[in-house]
């Protein structure tokens, strides 16, 4: 029983980790907390479910959801970061929150506010040593590991990664060194949006239910995972996501659903009291080596 709960917690934690990575990219590179992330998570899940509902094969539905998320991320970049970066620091934050509300209410206007079931069934489960692992869970976990590993390699060893680290260290210096910020920053938003939307896709395929406000709770857990792991540290965000996911599953099993948020956010407060920088050294991505 404990082993099965641990497996379920790892699978849920991988969703939180993907959201935390999307948030960490914005914080680590741009020093900008993108409040539209929960809305992009919702779009990933809702668009996937809607396309599957009308008969689109699930691989194409996933691709369509990621395309919508990329477009939404570009809109957020254009009308928050680029348009308002010269304003007071809180203005882009507020405008990104406005995008969250916009995405949620567009979803309500188009699909309604009720929970929708994703009509998808995968044949069979895998049984490993008495543990049951569904095909979407295993595939989602594998994809999460590959994507995060690929992101780390890109940021660590490519020219784009060096440019991002330079922007994170000092945007003015990056301009002097010839880094085209107006070309690089949209890439950050797109990558963060794709990671977040893919987390929404995994949630929809695994739990087979979506609704317009599904991103809010997950967004809070993603922020918690980022803080627990250390803000600006990608590997810390992954560890934080897994801790939050495993802790949530065991909290439900041992204490019931009513105590989940008390335990999860109580743990977050404990971490902040004991180690305010998080379990790993919280710093900007450029200085942490990602």
pLDDT digits (tens, 9 = 90+) for 138-181: 777 788 888 888 888 888 888 888 887 777 766 666 777 777 77
Cβ atoms 101, 204 nearer than 8 A? no
Q: How many helices (H) and strands (E) does the chain have?
A: 13, 4
CA dist., res. 24 & res. 226, Å (int): 7
Cβ atoms 285, 155 nearer than 8 A? yes
Domains belonging to the chain, first-starting first, are 2-114+132-288 (1.10.3470)
Using one digit for the tens of pLDDT, what is the confidence trace for 73-84?
Answer: 999 998 888 776
Q: Which residue has the tokens 């260290």?
A: 169
CA dist., res. 234 & res. 290, Å (int): 6
Cβ atoms 197, 65 nearer than 8 A? yes
pLDDT value at 290 more than 60: no
Give the residue among 42, 43, 24 at the shortest CA–CA distance from 34.
24
| pTM of this structure | 0.87
Element (DSSP H or E) covering residue 127: strand 125-128
Average pLDDT of the residues of the chain: 83
The residue ranking higher by pLDDT, 287 or 33, is 33
Cβ atoms 49, 116 nearer than 8 A? yes
Burial of 172 (0-12, 13-18, 19+ CB in 10 A): exposed
């Amino acid at each position: 029983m404990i082993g099965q709960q641990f497996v379920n917690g790892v699978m849920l934690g991988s969703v939180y980790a993907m959201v935390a990575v999307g948030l960490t990219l914005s914080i680590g590179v741009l020093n900008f907390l993108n409040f539209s992330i929960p809305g992009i998570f919702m779009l990933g899940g809702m668009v996937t479910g809607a396309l599957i509902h009308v008969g689109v094969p699930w691989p194409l539905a996933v691709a369509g959801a990621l395309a919508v998320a990329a477009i939404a991320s570009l809109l957020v970049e254009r009308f928050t970061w680029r348009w308002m970066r010269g304003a007071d620091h809180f203005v882009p934050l507020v405008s990104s929150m406005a995008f969250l509300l916009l995405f949620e209410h567009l979803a309500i206007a188009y699909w309604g506010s009720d929970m929708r079931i994703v009509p998808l069934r995968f044949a069979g489960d895998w049984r490993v040593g008495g543990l049951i692992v569904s095909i979407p869970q295993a595939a989602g976990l594998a994809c999460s590991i590959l994507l995060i590993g690929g992101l780390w390699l890109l940021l660590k060893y490519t020219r784009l990664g060096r440019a991002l680290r330079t922007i994170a260290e000092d945007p003015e210096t990056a301009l002097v060194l010839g880094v085209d910020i107006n070309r690089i920053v949209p890439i950050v938003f797109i990558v963060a949006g794709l990671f977040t939307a893919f987390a929404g896709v995994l949630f929809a395929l695994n739990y087979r239910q979506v609704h317009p406000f599904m991103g809010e709770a997950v967004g809070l857990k993603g922020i918690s995972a980022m803080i627990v792991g250390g803000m600006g540290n990608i590997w810390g965000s992954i560890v934080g996501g897994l801790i939050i996911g495993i802790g949530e599953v065991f909290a439900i099993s041992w204490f019931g659903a009513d105590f989940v948020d008390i335990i999860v956010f109580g743990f977050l407060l404990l971490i902040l009291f004991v180690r305010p920088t998080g379990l790993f050294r919280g710093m900007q991505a450029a200085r942490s080596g990602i």
